[in-house]
Amino acid sequence: MTVTTLTACALCGSGDLEQFLDLGLSPIAGDFPVVPESFESMPRYPLRLAHCRACGLAQLLDIIDNKLLYGRAYPYFSGASRPVVDHMAAYAKQVQAAYPIPLREHGIVEIACNDGTFLRHFVDADVRYGLGVEPALGPAEIADRAGVDVLREPFGLESARRIVDLFGKTGVIVGNNVLAHISDLDDFLAGVKTLLHQDGVAIFEVQYLPDLLTGNAFDLVYHEHHYFWSVRSLGEAFARHSMAVVDVQQHGMQGGSIRVFVRHAGPLSHSQNSVIGLLGFERQALTGAAYVSLQPRASRVRARLWAMLEAERAAGRTVAAYGASAKATTLFAHCDIDSERVAYAVDTTPIKWGRYMPGTDIPIVPAGSLPDGLRAPDTYLLTVPNYLGTFVRNEHRFLGAGGRAIVPLPVPAVI
Ligand SMILES: [Zn+2]
């Protein structure tokens, strides 16, 4: 079966799911075709989001088969994005400073280590062992070349048992933006429970559900993102496996993220004020009204962005997308954007060059060296709005020469 529709919560099994967002039909975000596509020619799948009234987990209602979702070349490489590289370097330093003893005595495992952008900082550090778990072969090969040991399979109870047999239980487990992608949550969480040393800490970064709602960030919704987490739903998830969220930090990556610190339930699992504070905030912020208002706000973004792109076209200006991101797939599909409005997309990832934005006839080209026949842009559409600072730093010449930029979210605006 290609698409399965959920009738019960993927975490707690409750049937009390309330749909709050329907983005219509959208192509698979990572599936960049080699020929131009039209709306009719590319397979599209429903994209709907619901929240569980019992445990608070926000989740996709339509689950695409993993073979279809991940069967093609995997286009995401952490190392291709400068802000991600910088973020991971700073993060690695923090972990080394905070947990020297668990690292030295019991090592570190990164779940979904991608190309090793984070874990390579531990290769020559004082750690008992460092191991990545990554099923995507392209990124795993790059991690391997950087000296990172990689187990090339999805993480779950079985792989956790194998790692424990080989190396013993782990002092620090790290998972960056992996909890959104898990098919079998209980198997994954049982794996964390099994792998984590009694005195160890597991640290997970996830996109933060209240920021999705307040930031109109519907472009974060694509088929690979099964879940959108809050401190409440994370607490429920780990409690199911006798673990507890003891601390939480908020930061600005991925349009608003949180980093939660998890320990085995017991003497060390006392919740800090950060956790209690955000749980209180979520009781105010995650109301039924907050959920249902996202749909009309997404529709207003669509109407306004469409009008702005029409105005650029009427003025004879060439618009290019800045970043062929997964978010851009949802944005373009929801707003019916094709090459009439956006002439091409520039991106730094070589594997995407020469391909097209999913479900469109918009070509993807290298940043900085346009193929013949393409006009230099007058206006950039920023498809990764949270990298606005990076854009302004990198494109100061373009902006200084009168270049324009449209930021689509939270409300479309020209800068
Ligand atoms: Zn639930």
- pLDDT for the residue numbered 384: 82
Instruction: Burial-class residue 180 by CB neighbours within 10 Å (0-12, 13-18, 19+).
Output: middle
318: pLDDT confidence band, cut at 50, 70 and 90?
A: very high
Residues 268 and 199 sit within 8 Å (Cβ to Cβ)? yes
59 CA to middle of ligand 1, Å?
9
57 CA to middle of ligand 1, Å?
6
Residue 374 three-state SS? coil
257 CA to middle of ligand 1, Å?
21
Residue 206 three-state SS? strand
Residue 369's CB: how many other CB atoms inside 10 A? 8
382: pLDDT confidence band, cut at 50, 70 and 90?
A: very high
Task: Map tokens 């970064």 to a residue.
Answer: 205
For the segment 218-241, what is each residue's pLDDT rounded down to a tens digit?
A: 999 999 999 999 999 999 999 999
236 CA to middle of ligand 1, Å?
9
Task: Give me the mean pLDDT over the 72-88 stretch.
Answer: 76
- pLDDT for the residue numbered 205: 95
Residue 38 has pLDDT above 80, yes or no: no
14 CA to middle of ligand 1, Å?
5
Question: Which tokens belong to 101?
Answer: 């003893």
230 CA to middle of ligand 1, Å?
12
Task: Give me the mean pLDDT over the 251-256 stretch.
Answer: 72
Q: How far is Cα 16 from Cα 253, in angstroms, rounded to an integer?
A: 31
Q: How far is Cα 234 from Cα 212, in angstroms, rounded to an integer?
A: 16
Residue 156 has pLDDT above 70, yes or no: yes
102 CA to middle of ligand 1, Å?
33
pTM listed for this prediction: 0.92
Percent of the chain whose pLDDT exceeds 70: 96
27 CA to middle of ligand 1, Å?
27
232 CA to middle of ligand 1, Å?
11
For the segment 331-347, what is each residue's pLDDT rounded down to a tens digit?
A: 999 999 999 999 999 99
Helix (H) or strand (E) holding 247: strand 243-251
183 CA to middle of ligand 1, Å?
15
Question: Which tokens belong to 37?
Answer: 């596509």
185 CA to middle of ligand 1, Å?
12
210 CA to middle of ligand 1, Å?
17
Q: How far is Cα 20 from Cα 235, in angstroms, rounded to an integer?
A: 22
Residues 151 and 170 sit within 8 Å (Cβ to Cβ)? no
13 CA to middle of ligand 1, Å?
6
387: pLDDT confidence band, cut at 50, 70 and 90?
A: confident
User: Across the chain, what does the average pLDDT equal?
Assistant: 92
56 CA to middle of ligand 1, Å?
6
Out of 13-17, 76-80, 349-353, pick the least confident: 76-80
28 CA to middle of ligand 1, Å?
26
12 CA to middle of ligand 1, Å?
4
